[in-house]
Structure 1
Amino acid sequence: MEHILAFDAGTGSLRAVLFDKEGNQKGVSQYEWSHLSDQRYPGSMDFDYAANWRLVVECIHNVLDSSGVDPKDIIAISATSMREGIVLYDQNGQEIWACANVDARASEEVKALKEIDEKLEEKIYALSGQTFALGALPRLLWQKNYQREIYEKANSISMINDWILFKLSGQLQVDPSNGCTNIA
């Protein structure tokens, strides 16, 4: 029987849910994410992509073991995630930095952006539905200001759900519903 594997990468945890083609849930597995606060940067909440990838793999094994579904019967995989949790990649597609959506270290960069144009946030919101509060733009500026070596290596950006699918498929692509976060 054919099945669909869906991931929900929330702020606090990852869930893998297995469905049959009729939409019946056949299995679920859930693990809490690892987020790391960097004491040098108040408000920081790094997404530990190495530890969290191990959780994704464990979650997959657990849902397959508990459901008894053969991995060969999975015909589609999808993922959704916390809005504004981002991953930066180098030119080789290797993760170089990531943060959870609750990362709040870029407050000074938000203030600086608003000083450039008091309507800038409003204009970006009209185009994307995103505000500066948890957006990629202030965080990228923070990288430029405080971790320039990472900023200069950054070649691509995605959200956490796109990261999961990239790790599983080898194809880095951004879901169009999330791409609006990176328009600036």
Structure 2
Amino acid sequence: MDENLQIERLKQGDKNALYFLYDKYSGALYGVVLRMCREQGLAEDLLQEIFLTIWEKIDQYDPAKGKFYTWAYRIARNKTLNALRKSDPLIQTDDLGVYKNVREEEDLQDYEMLNGMVRKLEAHHQKVIELIYFKGYTHREAHKLMDVPLGTFKSYVRQAIKQLRDHYPLAIALFLICIEVIENG
């Protein structure tokens, strides 16, 4: 179905149009939010808030100013940043005991190992991974930032993922592949 038609239907209050846009963009937006907040429960809650905001503010979307995804991405980014600011309590509520959660420690080690592997890539491969996976840019936005043709940019992404896949544990490689599929359909 035509996205512009769905946006017009959404502006008229058609919930099915919202469902269409949710199906089309929720995976990519969820990926952006999760990378920013690194907390699955919060990311899921924020995704619902994002689409509620899209429903409530769709009249503010102007296709002449940019693509729908870019507009929705900005809503997602702002909601996530606001939530992260709010979640920084002034009063200590966490248990700062001697024993750490083993799972949290493993997650930190996985992230540090992934970050270390990314740093071993060539500079242009590091940049594509940073733009796509850590900053949440689409391929079309990121190739312009790097000032390379879209095809070249996509080639860099494939090469970087292949290098990570060859040198990084299977579980993380599968995670990267899933994100790649979600973002590119």
TM-score by length of 1: 0.28
Q: Which has the higher strand share?
A: 1
Q: Which has the higher helix share?
A: 2
Bigger radius of gyration: 2
